């Protein structure tokens, strides 16, 4: 169980295929900004690590606060954000 790692480029490509009306530039900007915050150690208001992909859309929050679910097993997360967590 855990997040499925995905690169930013691949995620953007997948996301735009299912959401063709969204702006790639904005999406990329929001993803990088959430990733930077994650690297800086920004936490969700509940104290958990932020979920970069969800935070790109909903603001910096963890998976549970964004989705209302405590379990994840097939949800994507940016690979660079996951590596950071493994180094702890």
Enumerate binding residues for Zn ion (CB under 5 A): 44, 46, 48, 62, 65
CB of 64 to Zn ion, least distance (A): 5
Nearer to Zn ion, 11 or 51 (CB): 51
Nearer to Zn ion, 23 or 48 (CB): 48
26 by Cβ neighbours in 10 Å (0-12 / 13-18 / 19+) ranks as: exposed
The DSSP H or E segment spanning 36 is helix 24-40
Nearer to Zn ion, 8 or 55 (CB): 55
Could you give the CA distance from residue 56 to residue 52 in angstroms, rounded to a whole number? Answer: 6
């Amino acid at each position: 169980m855990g997040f499925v790692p995905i690169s930013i480029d691949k995620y953007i490509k997948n996301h735009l295929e299912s959401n063709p009306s969204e702006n790639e530039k904005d999406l990329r900007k929001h993803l990088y900004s959430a990733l930077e915050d994650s690297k800086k150690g920004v936490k969700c208001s509940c104290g958990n690590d932020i979920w970069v992909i969800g935070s790109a859309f909903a603001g910096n929050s963890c998976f549970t606060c964004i989705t209302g679910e405590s379990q994840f097993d097939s949800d994507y997360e940016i690979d660079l954000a996951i590596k950071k967590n493994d180094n702890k």
